[in-house]
Structure 1
């Protein structure tokens, strides 16, 4: 599993380097994910180590959202006035992510 984590962190680092060199407005981790996607597409799938690591991380994905959700309650009062918009954005973002994930799974599943 350590090899898989190293590979994922390496792609994040490559994304950060790419963004720094190109002065792109895209966040480094997003650029790293795009590079990882490109590498997986070229290689036709992940290595067993990366797949095992990714499956483990997905199992605990909901825990990664917990700090952000709890942090909303400790925001300054001027930001707390906008909590309905923040909640709406979180719900909409989750829904859009679920739709895009389902579409991607269907698309990738039909190509094999």
Structure 2
């Protein structure tokens, strides 16, 4: 489990370093997550032809499961923000609602288009 947590933290650290060194507008943890994803894809690609069984990343699944069990804690700051900024939310409810609806519809449409393109590409 320590190995899996170390890998997650190292990916986050690498993402933070890249984001700050290259002055990227993307948060470091997002870059770290992309690095972890790329690393797992590359590992699977190189181990696919190997004769030895896939050892996996030691403890990464356990760490992921432990973090997912406490995922609800991440919603506490959002709830506090709603309480603290309640008057502003009440004042600007119409433009914020419009932005949320438009953003959601745009995200769904873009996701559908990407899925169609990937399905066409695959076969």
For normalisation by structure 2, the TM-score amounts to 0.61
Which residue in the other structure is 2:79 paired with?
A: 69
- The number of residues matched between the two structures is 97
Match of 1:110 in 2: none
Structure 1-normalised TM-score? 0.66
Structure 1 residues 76-111: Cα deviation after superposition (integer angstroms, max 9, x where no partner): 73355335637x84xx4xx96xx89xx8xxx9xxxx
Which secondary structure state, in structure 2, belongs to the residue aligned with residue 12 of structure 1? helix
Superposed CA RMSD: 3.3
CA distance in 2, matches of 1:82, 1:16: 34
Structure with more helix by fraction: 1
The alpha-carbon distance between structure 1 residues 37 and 76, as it changes in their structure 2 partners (threshold 3 A), is same
Could you tell me whether the CA contact under 8 Å between 2:4 and 2:61 is conserved in 1? yes
Q: How does 1:36-47 map to 2 (within 5 A)?
A: 36-44=36-44, 46-47=56-57
Q: Deviation per CA, 1:4-55, whole angstroms, max 9, x where unpaired? A: 2221111111001111121111111111110010111111285131111011
Whether the aligned pair in 1 keeps the contact of 2:3 and 2:58 (CA below 8 Å) is: no
* 1:7-18 aligned within 5 A: 7-18=7-18
**What are the ranges of 5 or more consecutive residues in structure 2 without an aligned counterpart?**
45-53
Question: In the aligned structure 1, how far is the partner of 2:10 from the partner of 2:2?
Answer: 12
